[in-house]
Chain A
Amino acid sequence: MNPVNNENVLEVQGIAMSFGGLMALSNLNFQVKRGIIKGIIGPNGAGKTTLFNIITGSFPPTNGTIRFKDRPIEHLKAYKIAERGISRTFQTIELFGNMTVLENIMLGCHTRIRPSFLASGFKFPQSGRKEKQILERGMRILKFIGLNDKFNHLAENLPLGEQKMVEIGRALASEPELICLDEPAAGLNETETHLASSLIKAINAKGITVLLVEHDMRVIMNISDEIVVINYGQKIAEGSPEEIQNNPRVIEAYLGSEA
């Protein structure tokens, strides 16, 4: 997708994160333009998931600012960031295993529509209306990710590929402007990887900005508009897929230098 304009939806400014003495990220800077697919790559342990956890509010950074739509978010809790319009999936599946596929997606709607405790308990008419809205939206999303026939399966009983799809669907249910996908193709076979790629493109076509961490180079080179490369917690390159593929520092980070 071409960027809608040059507006930055997300700005990562001087982010540093240390766990004890370990510097997981240091002085990381990059921007994400609205409407693009931005890939983040880097060897294992480069700090990609840590970056995702900071952006989505799992923990605050040691230093630096994250601006989403020009407002700082790095101090907010995860649920607040979800309300602002950032959603995510997890590298290791974090589905609600004992809930059905549909319920997982419906929980994703929580950010936008939720009845209050008392309204639910007393079954006020508004809580019924909201539940119906949530149900309809959940079914729409299931159709979009192609799992509407499995709506009543327990999430934990699905094969890995479909669980990854449900995670993406659940993230979509919160109507995000920016969706952070943490290795959506990891552990998938050829067909499933292909499906995941086209789903990500379809999400992007709806105008949702995508931030994508992925190890599968074909996926990332095929669908990203821009790529950031991180190694040892620092940005070592940024640019279009072609630029990245020919960047000597990137090649060195992945293959090691020629002695």
Chain B
Amino acid sequence: MLRIAKLPIAIFAVLIILFPWVAREIPAIDHYTDIMVFVGIYCLITLGLCILMGYAGQISIGHAAFFGIGAYVSAILTVRFGINPWACMLIGTAVSSAVAVLVGAPSLKLKGHYLAMATLAFGIVIFIIFNEEIEWTGGPDGMSGIPGLSLFGFAFDSAEKYYYLVWSFVILAFIFTINIIQSGTGRALRAIHASEPAAGAMGVNISKYKIIVFVYSAVLASLAGSLYAHYLNFINPSTFDLFFSIKLVIMIALGGMHNLWGAIIGSGIITFLSYEWLHYFEEFEVIVYGAILLLVTVFLPNGLVGVPGIVKGWFRR
């Protein structure tokens, strides 16, 4: 039976709570809390991608679009209409869900490469809209002056405060996703991945489940986008380009897409690489990502979470 151990989750939650306290004391890593905010934001997206790609077996190379829709809905509604940021976040998820249903209903009928191409094209279209609808989105210059978040007069106005906010979202999304995976819904998703004819014959409404999981992943990406916009107070389209979609796929491939922990590990490593450790490579950074993706697909098909299993295999021999 698929059961995800509770103890590591508890330990992880404690580590997340303690992290800023430790980072604060060590000057060399005191800005890591800020980076961890972004890790959390990307974790939200990759958790959704993980259940979509790793469990249900549906590929998406367009999730930057939902991240962007969340961010732009929040930005436009707060800056141009002065609507409450939390309401914008909700409206963002509603818009993303609607778009996910419209895009997903026809394209999730496609398989393999074709689904990949459809989602890729979708990502590019949304990216073009962000660039060209200057009246609304500010075009390539982006939008500034997006307000921060506050709750009952408590403003999340520092990296540390925002860190706890973002990671609360991540932990909640993590638990929700685990519940899904361990339920009949998760079983149905894995069944679709393993054999669509058999899943259908056993009463699984395949298109409905594909759309539900696609919408769920879009909602998480959209929430992440809103959190991103309200944290940076500034967005521009280049954040939501095709390369970001691919980076998301690299994150879950590196961590291991058949395991939710893979999403968290992968997001952590790739985010730290791009924000901190890869500056030496400058414009050659892309090559590093390419190399990672190549090495992982060849040597670690189950990602980093598969490593313990490989090591165990060595000892058994």
Contact = CB atoms under 8 A, between A and B. Distances in A.
A107 B197 contact: no
B1 interface: yes
Given A114-B184, A131-B183, A102 B198 contact: no
A174 interface: yes
Chain A interface size band reads 35 or more
Interface stretch (B42-50, B61-69, B199-207, B234-242): B199-207
B203 A117 contact: no
A152 B203 contact: no
A82 B184 CA distance: 17
A109 B1 CA distance: 16
Contacts of B180: 117, 120-121
Contact of A94 (B1, B177, B187, B198): B198
Contacts of A82: 200-203
Interface string A114-142: 11110011110001001100100000000
Q: Size class of B's contact patch? A: 20 to 34
A95 B195 contact: yes
Interface in A64-97: 77-79, 82-83, 87-88, 90, 94-97
Nearest to A134: B184
B1 A152 contact: yes
A110 B201 contact: no
Contacts of A195: none
Contact of A131 (B184, B199, B205, B206): B184
Contacts of A116: 185
A87 B183 contact: no
Given A58-B197, A120-B183, A123-B179, A170 B190 contact: no
Nearest to B200: A78
B2 interface: yes
A60 interface: no
B191 interface: yes
Given A82-B202, A152-B1, A99 B184 contact: no
Contact of A96 (B179, B190, B206): B190
A123 B193 CA distance: 23
Nearest to A156: B194
A98 interface: yes
Nearest to A81: B201
A60 B146 CA distance: 54
B186 interface: yes
Interface of A: 56-58, 77-79, 82-83, 87-88, 90, 94-100, 102-103, 106-117, 120-123, 127, 130-131, 134, 152, 170-171, 173-174
